[in-house]
Structure 1
Amino acid sequence: MLLVVAAAVVALAGIKAIDTIIGPVVLALVLTIAVSPIRDWLTRKKAPGWLVVALPLAVVIVVLLGMVAILTTAVVQMAVLLPTYSAQFNRLVADAQKWAADRGIAPQVNKALQSLDPAKIFDFAQSLLASVLGVVSSLLLIVILLLAMSLDAPIISRIMSAASAERPAITRALTTFAYKTRRYLLVSTIFGLICAALDVVALYILHVPLPLLWGILALITNYIPNIGFVIGLVPPALLALLTGGVQRMILVIVAYLVINVVVQSFIQPKFLGDAVGLTTTVTFLSLIIWATVLGPLGALLAIPLTLLTRALLIDSDPSAKWSGALVSGDIPNDQPRS
């Protein structure tokens, strides 16, 4: 166990040291896997070789650029809007101070309010914008990787087919990884669109500025497991506080909680089934680990990265079935269920 933990620490430290390379590589791999059905369909239709490569690549590039544009727009809009609400912010602070003074807790509340400086929020928005724009510097590398992987995809597919007889365990593990990754992305996208549409309707009803933009942001953050909708909730909740006070902010928070808890906790698992094959604890730990190692990109890719790790270290080893059971929560078929 100590050897395994030590090896994991060394491996994660090495990945973190080259996170600017590993992150784009994994993102390109996941996107290539996501559009593989398009490539397979074109191959079955006997489309020209250049079209088999160009069409999936074009789809991925459009989606990738769209996500970066949306995130950049969201941060820019926040940076532009926040300074215009300085008067409302000061009024909210004054109301909070008066409320605290009436209840004899003014010193504690005043100390907390000192950290809520609009200028600090604006500086944070600017730094966040700089971080988002930093992703653009990796786009050229991601596009080159996508092109290379798209060109090599047919070759890799033939190699996997040829290796299935000699190395059935690793072939089956990698094939399962690709299938589960595609299904996870498909189900997450469908239910992310449902949540985003409902969020937009709620924000329109509550008169929160830029509801469509925050709905699209909610769709993107839906790919972050467990806490994604909380990240997408922060901008509209803050604007609701500035435009309509505490009551409107509470209504926005309640609306997001109801929509996302009902859809993601009760409806989505019924359709997702065993597509991911990870327990709730493993999912949450994977989010923490990969976000620490690879940053925001690691949070977005937490599930695919964990599925890849499971395929390489557990599913490819027939003797590791109990390790797989601990990760997935499924008891092996040859053992009785309690």
Structure 2
Amino acid sequence: MVEQSKPLLYFLVGIASVFIIIAGIRNLAFILNPILLSLVITITLLPLPAWFAKRGIPGWLSLVLTFLVVLAMIGLVLLIIFVGLAQLDEVLPTLRQTATSGAAAVTDPQGNVMGVQVTDITRTIEDFVASQRFTNVATAVISALFVGLSQAFLVMLIFAFMLSSALALPSSIRLGLRADHPLLKQAATLTEDVRRYITLTTALNFLVGIGNTILLLALGVDLALLWGLLSAFMGYIPAVGFWIAMIPPLLLAFVGDGPVVALLVFAGYVLINGTVENLVKPRMLGRELKISPAVVVIALFVWGWLLGAVGAILSTPLTLLILSILEGFDSSRWITVLLRTAGTGEVANTAEQQAAFGRVRGLWDRGVAVVRGDRPKPPDEG
């Protein structure tokens, strides 16, 4: 009887351990977020000091130049944001007048458009934009921006220490590990996957941001550069990022230029962003990183729930890190086989896939046996 109860005990202990780890991650999110963000930035920019070093620049100077490049990029982004906010402050007083005239142009005397009562909806949007509530929202956004800047300072500080440590890591590793040690190969694969994802996503986001900016400029929507930058940044959040980025220019177009322009903004965003998110990006992720789009979406909600906004942005890099770690152990490699996708038929390994599915069937049989109180069969190792 005691022997039969052991599998159930192990199962319950495992489930309890998972919940304890999840609770710990959620409660420590304010500590983990800057560390994880700094880690991903370090992995992404690690080749830059090496590029400087190949051109004869000393190691300490290459580190300083890398840090200055990052600061310059952040400064450029902040400049665009502050200029956009200043322009927004100038645009707000004229929005109510243009919104009122635009609404009058498309409504009949009864306030209907194509038989639908929309006067109240339009008036609500107008009043919100022109009222103190909109100012309060804008103030809250600016306050959140300054809080983010303080967090960014912490991230940059951690990044500086991580980058300097990473540059010294190869020489220290060689003191204790062979050059062909499996751990070094696994670490190289891990960092390369994350770097490839960030590079790929950044390139696509840059193109999407340019496309959205051109679209908004062509339609005459105010602050096109700011909204293009927002769409490029929100592109790091899979699946839902571009929907969030579309809301400000869509509302601004509706209030300032009317429903027709707003409809064109919506159609253009769906065409540009939808093509990248649903066609280009999944195909490139499948070919370059061997990761399923379904896993990307699930990871978005899981990491977003655990770590908040930073978790949503880093959901795919964190998932790639975990997959790389799992691939380093024979007992957990079958999990990565299930979560990854071949993307192209060149790297598909049917034997591994069959073994992974066999392992899942074995675990299912063990779970059923535990629930029934039977003596479980050994798991199918494939």
Q: Quickly name the TM-score band, shorter chain normalised.
A: 0.7 to 0.9
Match of 1:316 among 324, 328, 339: 328
CA contact (8 A) 1:35 1:60 kept: no
Look at both structures and tell me which one has the larger radius of gyration over its CA atoms. Answer: 2
Between 256-265 and 179-188, report the one with greater CA deviation: 256-265
Shift of the 161–88 alpha-carbon distance from structure 1 to 2, 3 Å rule, reads: farther
Task: Tell me if the contact between 1:82 and 1:122 (Cα under 8 Å) persists in the aligned partners.
Answer: no
Q: Is the 8 A contact 2:285 2:291 kept in 1?
A: no
Contact persistence 1:197–1:215 (CA under 8 A): yes
Relative to structure 1, the CA distance from residue 4 to residue 100 in structure 2 (aligned partners, 3 Å threshold; closer, same or farther) is farther
Work out which of the residue numbers 295, 315, 334 in structure 1 matches 2:351: 334
Tell me, yes or no, if the aligned pair for 1:192 and 1:222 is still in contact at 8 Å.
yes
TM-score normalised according to structure 2 size:
0.75
Alignment-derived partner of residue 38 in structure 2: 28
Residue in 2 aligned with 1:158? 171
Task: Compute the displacement of 1:22 (Å).
Answer: 1.6
Cα drift, residue 152 of structure 1: 0.7
Find 2:256's aligned residue among 243, 247, 260. 243
Aligned partners of 1:45 and 1:159: how far apart in 2?
24
The 1:91–1:247 alpha-carbon spacing in structure 2 relative to 1, beyond 3 Å, is: same
Distance 1:256 1:205 in 2: 13
| Among candidates 177, 188, 210, match of residue 190 of structure 2 | 177
- 1:230 maps to 243
Which secondary structure state, in structure 1, belongs to the residue aligned with residue 237 of structure 2? coil
Q: Which residue of 1 aligns with 2:160?
A: 147
Look up the match of 2:373: none
- Aligned with residue 264 of structure 1, among 262, 270, 277: 277
Secondary structure of the structure 2 residue equivalent to 1:318: coil
Aligned with 2:225 (options 209, 212, 232): 212
Aligned 8 A contact 2:239 2:277 in 1? no
Q: Give how far 1:245 is off.
A: 1.1
Question: Letter of the aligned partner of 2:128 in structure 1?
Answer: D
Cα distance in 2 for residues equivalent to 1:192 and 1:185:
10
Match of 2:345 in 1: none
Q: Deviations over 1:60-83 (max 9, x none)?
A: 222234445545555665566445
Q: CA contact under 8 A between 1:68 and 1:136: conserved in structure 2? A: no
RMSD: 3.4
- Name structure 1 gaps, 5 residues minimum: none
1:47 alignment partner, SS class: coil
Report the alpha carbon displacement of residue 208 of structure 1 after superposing the two structures with TM.
0.6
**Corresponding pairs, count:** 334
Which segment drifts farther, 57-66 or 79-88?
Answer: 79-88
- Kept in 1: contact 2:102–2:256 (CA 8 A): no
Report if the CA contact (8 A) 1:163-1:171 is conserved.
Answer: no
Name stretches of at least 5 consecutive residues in structure 2 with no aligned partner: 1-10, 343-347, 358-382
Q: Which moved more, 1:204-213 or 1:39-48?
A: 39-48
How far, CA to CA, are the matches of 1:323 and 1:69 in structure 2?
45
**Equivalent in 45, 50, 53 of residue 40 of structure 1:** 50
Task: Say if 1:83 and 1:122, in contact at 8 Å, map to a contact too.
Answer: no
Residues 3 and 226 (structure 1), Cα distance of their counterparts in 2 relative to 1, 3 Å cut: farther
Pair 1:100–1:194, CA change in 2 (3 A): closer
* Distance in 1 (alpha carbons) for counterparts of 2:52 and 2:198: 21
Distance in 2 between residues matched to 1:291 and 1:113, nearest whole Å: 35
Q: 1:79 to 1:258 in 2, by over 3 A?
A: same
Question: Are residues 88 and 53 of structure 1, via their aligned partners in 2, closer, same or farther at CA, if it must alter by over 3 Å?
Answer: same
Matched, 1:196 2:209: yes
Compared CA separation, residues 128 and 69, structure 1 to 2 (3 A): same
Deviates more, 1:262-271 or 1:161-170: 161-170
**How far apart, CA to CA, are the structure 2 residues paired with 1:184 and 1:203?**
28
Asked if the contact 1:74/1:213 (under 8 Å) is kept, the reply is yes
- Equivalent residue for 1:134? 147
